[in-house]
Amino acid sequence: MLPWRPASTQGGQTMPEATLNERKSLLRKGIRETRALLGTAERAEAGRSLRNLVLGMPEAGMAGTVAAYMSFGTEPETSGLVFALWKRGTYVLLPVLRPDNDLDWASYEGPDSLEPGPHGLLQPTERRRGVTAITSADLVVVPALAVDFEGNRLGRGGGSYDRALARVGPAVPTIALLYDGELVDEVPAGRHDQPVRAVAQPGRGINKLG
């Protein structure tokens, strides 16, 4: 379990933006500090468990196109998941960070089709498909620092995935990959924050949300 708890809501009222951002920053700090304690082997093992969980989803088995991402820093490892989806014939889209922090998308064509992008993120070298390419995905796999039981998702703070998820249809499964203990009681959320519909955790499996 994580050694902190998010602050409680204030009677369900909308929080001022500064207060909302402060609460998100505090939550991010706690999660990042906890993740920093994990070793490379632990992150890799979490990635293998999450890979197997996602590959076993009926939605993944039926998906012609999956929008996924390459893990960064202390995130659970996703290279194995991306490679496995591609090897079994799924068309895999990966994000390309634009200068305005929105996400473009391009196809994954194996490990050699990646190059370092902004902030050291690995990005595909294939032709860009545009910000609306995510609308063609049958399953969307997203990064997160934490998610609550309503599906509210805490990201890195740039808003890139909130913009992307706003383009995803209501029937498309969206799943965040977490470590155990990062599905929490509350994630502070504003009107622009986009929820996810499920989470996967290495030791706790997949939970549908909302």
Is 199 a residue whose pLDDT tops 90? yes
pLDDT band at 177 (very low <50, low <70, confident <90, very high): very high
Is 195 a residue whose pLDDT tops 80? yes
Average pLDDT over residues 179-193: 93
Q: What is the spatial distance between Cα 37 and Cα 40, in angstroms, rounded to a whole number?
A: 10
End-to-end alpha carbon distance in the chain: 22
Q: Which residues pair with 94 in a beta bridge?
A: 106
Q: What is the spatial distance between Cα 103 and Cα 75, in angstroms, rounded to a whole number?
A: 19
Cα angle for residues 73, 164, 68 (degrees, 5° grid): 50
pLDDT of residue 107: 98
The sign of the torsion formed by the CA atoms of 21, 23, 26, 32 equals negative
**What percent of the chain has a predicted confidence (pLDDT) above 70?**
91
The sign of the torsion formed by the CA atoms of 167, 173, 179, 182 equals positive
Computed over every residue of the chain, the mean pLDDT equals: 91
pLDDT digits (tens, 9 = 90+) for 4-45: 344 344 444 555 566 888 999 999 999 999 999 999 999 999
Is 180 a residue whose pLDDT tops 60? yes
* CB contact at 8 A, 91 and 61: no
* CB contact at 8 A, 57 and 28: no
Average pLDDT over residues 72-96: 96
Average pLDDT over residues 94-100: 96
Is 190 a residue whose pLDDT tops 80? yes
pLDDT digits (tens, 9 = 90+) for 131-157: 999 999 999 999 999 999 999 999 998
Average pLDDT over residues 58-84: 96
Q: What is the spatial distance between Cα 100 and Cα 163, in angstroms, rounded to a whole number?
A: 11
Domains of the chain: 17-208 (3.40.50.10420)
Closest Cα partner for 75 from 1, 143, 3?
143
